[in-house]
Structure formats: C-alpha cells, structure tokens
Amino acid sequence: MNLSEIGRIQSYLRKVFSNNLIQIVPPTRPTAPVEVQIGNEFVGVLHRDEDEGEVSYSLMISILEEDLPFTESA
C-alpha cells in the first residue's frame, strides 16, 4: 500500500467515523502490516486486495475480552 492510498483511506475513515484522531501508520518495511490507530491506541490492521483489476481494502479490528467493560450476568 503506497502513501497516497494510505492518505486517501485515512481521510475516508476519519469522515465515516467522524473522528480526526484516526491515523494509519505506514509500514516500516514492505511486508509489515499497515496499522490503524485512534490517538496512540492500536485498533486494527488494514489490508489491500486486488482481484481482476478491482482494488478493495479491509480493516480487521481485534477486541480482547479483557479490554471489555465488566457487566454482571442477569
């Protein structure tokens, strides 16, 4: 994923989620994952796919159970 794509996707995500704290961190090497952060908090990984000339992007967000708020069972 090149810097132009990263900039366009970052702008899109900021607009869709109404959050200017969203940032996409360019990878340090070509095979490294493209990380998505909100502020300084890592939230997911962005992937690029090209199939038959069509390009798409997917954002995978992982949520650890230990990060979820505790709620009592009914």
Query: pLDDT for 27-72, tens place per residue?
Result: 988 888 899 999 999 999 999 999 999 999 999 998 989 989 988 7
Query: Is 72 part of any domain?
Result: no
Q: What local confidence, expressed as pLDDT, does residue 67 receive?
A: 87
Where would I find the H helices in the chain? 3-16
Measured between alpha carbons, how far is 46 from 25 in angstroms, rounded to an integer? 10
Q: Judge whether residue 9 has pLDDT over 70.
A: yes
Q: What local confidence, expressed as pLDDT, does residue 44 receive?
A: 96
Query: Is 70 part of any domain?
Result: no
The structure's pTM equals: 0.82
For residue 35, the enclosing domain spans: 3-63
Structure tokens at 47: 């992937």
Query: Is 45 part of any domain?
Result: yes
Query: Is 74 part of any domain?
Result: no
Residue 44 has phi, psi (to 5 degrees) of 180, -175
In contact, 9 and 24? CB cutoff 8 Å: yes
Q: What local confidence, expressed as pLDDT, does residue 69 receive?
A: 92
Query: Is 69 part of any domain?
Result: no
Number of domains in the chain: 1
Query: Is 22 part of any domain?
Result: yes
